[in-house]
Amino acid sequence: MTAAGRTLANRLASDQPAQALRLAQAIEAPWFRSQALSHVGRYWPDETYNRILVEAMRSADAQDGIYKQVAVSAWPIRVFRRANLTP
């Protein structure tokens, strides 16, 4: 699962966050997994969203090459900033 999995997880995040999380975690490509996890974390219904965003950061770190790592890290960082948190 790649971009299609990310799109589906993003669609489900606000209404079915647990299902969206399972889908996001199943995405093999780190780029799309990090983006999907970030979106799920944004809509997660309680304070445990922090662990989802940390997982998104780890997925970003799994990218090949520093440029890709930094670029996709913007997704979870943006969610952390909206919540006034730091990764």
Q: What is the pLDDT of residues 4-23, one digit of tens each?
A: 999 999 999 999 999 999 99
User: Which residues 6+ apart lie within 8 Å of 4 measured at CB?
Assistant: none
Q: How many domains does one find in the chain? A: 1
pTM for the whole structure: 0.92
Per the structure, the complete domain to which residue 35 belongs is given by 3-82
Is residue 87 included in any domain, yes or no? Answer: no
The CA-CA-CA angle for residues 52, 57, 80, to 5°, reads 65
28 located within any domain: yes
How far from the centroid of its chain's Cα atoms is residue 84's Cα? 17
DSSP-derived secondary structure letter, 37 = H
Residues 14-66 have pLDDT tens digits of: 999 999 999 999 999 999 999 999 999 999 999 899 999 999 999 999 999 99
Kindly state whether residue 50 falls inside one of the protein's structural domains. Answer: yes
Centre a 10 Å sphere on the Cβ of residue 51 and count the other Cβ atoms it contains: 11
Is the residue at 53 inside a domain?
Answer: yes
Tokens of 77: 């960082």
> Within a domain: residue 27?
yes
Cβ(48)–Cβ(21) under 8 Å? Answer: no
- Domain assignment present for residue 47? The answer is yes
